[in-house]
Amino acid sequence: MAPTSPFSLDGRLAMVTGAGSGIGRAIALGLASAGADLLLLSDRDNLGPVAEEARAAGAVVTTELLDLSDRPTRRAAAERLLDAHAVDILVNNAGLIRRAPATEFPDEDWYDVIEVNLNAAFELCRAAGRRMVARGSGKIVNVASMLSFQGGLLVPSYTASKHALAGLTRALANEWAPHGVNVNAIAPGYVATATTAALRNDPTRSAEILARIPAARWADPEDVAGSAVFLASPAADYVHGHVLAVDGGWLAR
């Protein structure tokens, strides 16, 4: 019998939020290619194509339309879904970003971003983690950001949420590692998605960003997927509380 790859996710079920596009879509397909079945969540009706592609790769796929900004709805949905599905891997990918100078930053843009990027992520971690701790196994991968390390420009709520998500990752790892649950995060660099369209469409800002990236290009969402597969796999069984930068060398410059 051939040895099992330490990166194999055969027999695992992964819940991925924000899975319909961008990084979430790429992570979902990466997990499926490693053998995982999928429970895909999105607040938009955009899960059909990724579900079809994942099924073609052999995954069993369930989709769920869920607005993570709606606190009562998401809490009830999390309990229902986690009761109905034995989730082995949780990927908190869904996120919002709003841009404005801090002196003019609207209250609603602050609270909306914190609600999805931090509060919803914590509640999903808590609900999944409770079950994983009881079972004695599980993997949680939070999608952080370069702005978990830096301040950025014109995005105070996003920066605050991503700093907090990195801290939450470490805090949960400290509590749950003794119970066989790995909590880690990925910090993508500048990725060509809808979230970064405003930056890529600004010739000056885009040139400034590219000048600092040793890899000399924006990342594609697929560049991030392998890190999620690693952190979700047995290869990362002794990795706890780590924030893995996938940034083309940005932080090294």
Q: Report whether 210 contacts 217 (CB < 8 A).
A: yes
Mean pLDDT of the chain: 97
* Span 219-228, average pLDDT: 98
* Span 92-113, average pLDDT: 98
Residue 13 has pLDDT above 70, yes or no: yes
Active site residues: 158
In the chain, the percentage of residues whose pLDDT exceeds 70 is 99
Give the whole-angstrom CA distance, residue 76 versus residue 134. 20
Strands, DSSP E only, in the chain?
13-17, 37-42, 61-65, 89-92, 138-143, 181-188, 243-246
- 217 SS3 class: coil
In the chain, the percentage of residues whose pLDDT exceeds 90 is 96
From the number of C-beta atoms within 10 Å of its C-beta (0-12, 13-18, 19+), residue 215 rates as: middle
150-184 tens-digit pLDDT: 999 999 999 999 999 999 999 999 999 999 999 99
Q: Report whether 223 contacts 29 (CB < 8 A).
A: no
Q: What is the residue-wise DSSP string for 153-190?
A: SS-HHHHHHHHHHHHHHHHHHHHHGGGTEEEEEEEE-S
pTM above 0.85, yes or no: yes
Instruction: Given CATH 1.10.10.10, say whether it is the number of domain 13-192+222-243.
Output: no
Give the whole-angstrom CA distance, residue 120 versus residue 70. 9
